Amino acid sequence: MKDTTMQIPTFDDVLAAHARIAPHIHRTPVLTSRYFNDLTGADLFFKCENFQKAGAFKVRGACNAVFGLTDDQAARGVCTHSSGNHALSLSYAAGRRGIPCNVVMPRTAPQAKKDAVRGYGGVITECDPSTSSREAVFAEVQARTGGEFVHPYNDPRVIAGQATCSRELMEQVEGLDAIIAPIGGGGMISGTCLTVASTAPGVAVYAAEPRNADDAFRSFKAGRIIADDAPETVADGLKVPLKALTWHFVSRHVTDIFTASEDQIVDAMKLTWKRMKIVMEPSCAVPLACILANPEVFRGRKVGVIITGGNVDLDRLPWMKG
């Protein structure tokens, strides 16, 4: 298979991706909250990818990869490893094109995400909840199926697709001073950096990460990739480490990375459900948690906040006891 991991996507790739995926995604809304504006002292604009097809922003990158395949490539199907949202998004995209999709998922992944993968026609192989296990089991699955590997984030096709989210946000809200989004492997942040650097370099890009899985934060401070194998955090979508391609964007264009504790993440998630009446995942609450913990950085500024997904197990909400 051709190695695409260090082909740096350009803004022309973003424009091509947006045109390619338009029939298969939603242009998601931007919501505001007077309550959160008063609480933070900032003007916050929430880009609601929890309302996206397949319930997550990752459908953008998945659709760009799947619908960019040649017929010969598509005939072999696609495969990936993912804790959930990329798996179900790739299954959705593959289903739209009518091709097979095999995914490797941690056995601890939320049941709601596993159900969604199967609902879209994806075939799941489970692994242990560590990066090393995911990659080892995936190597076996890819060898057996021959599918085109669509990496969850270290793939230029995926990053170009994710960049369409911030492109929409900046069209929907004029004069943003900053954008903040969660960071795990860095696909969304890389796409945001690509759009911002190409169209509005004065806009600051901030990343938000769980303190229990703060390898991106430590990498950013050290100036090199530091990877944890199996961190434990309620933000299940943010457990994976940066890779070479996403580090390219993070190291060059991110203004700063903030972290939030588990309690801060859960409190921000619950508060968003209560005040904005929207379903969102723990991973999506990390940016708001970081804003609340660092008000002096965001006070008086217009800030885009990317809510990345809404695929949550309603029977196992993090504030439930037992």
Evaluate whether 11-56+155-307 and 59-149 have a shared fold.
Answer: yes
Q: How confident is the model at residue 130 (pLDDT cuts 50, 70, 90)?
A: confident
Q: What is the pLDDT of residues 306-322, one digit of tens each?
A: 999 998 888 889 888 65
Strand duo 30-31 + 43-48: pairing: antiparallel
| Predicted TM-score (pTM) of this structure | 0.94
CATH architecture of 59-149: 3-Layer(aba) Sandwich (3.40)
Note whether 48 and 278 are within 8 A (CB). Answer: yes
Q: How confident is the model at residue 157 (pLDDT cuts 50, 70, 90)?
A: very high
pLDDT at 1: 42
Cα–Cα distance, 198 to 166 (Å, whole number): 11
Which of the residue ranges 54-68, 101-115, 297-311 would you say has the lowest mean pLDDT? 101-115
Cα–Cα distance, 291 to 286 (Å, whole number): 9
Tokens, residue 148: 């085109």
Tokens, residue 159: 């990053």
Give 210-214's long-range contacts (Cβ < 8 A, gap of 24+).
Answer: 210/234, 210/235, 210/238, 210/259, 210/260, 210/262, 210/265, 210/286, 211/259, 211/260, 211/261, 211/262, 212/261, 212/262, 213/184, 213/238, 213/239, 214/259
Q: What is the pLDDT of residues 191-230, one digit of tens each?
A: 999 999 999 999 999 999 999 999 999 999 999 999 988 7
Domain residue ranges of the chain, discontinuous segments joined by +: 11-56+155-307, 59-149
Q: What is the pLDDT of residues 106-122, one digit of tens each?
A: 998 888 889 999 999 99
Fold (CATH) for 11-56+155-307 = Rossmann fold (3.40.50)
Q: What is the pLDDT of residues 4-47, one digit of tens each?
A: 557 999 999 999 999 999 999 999 999 999 999 999 999 999 99
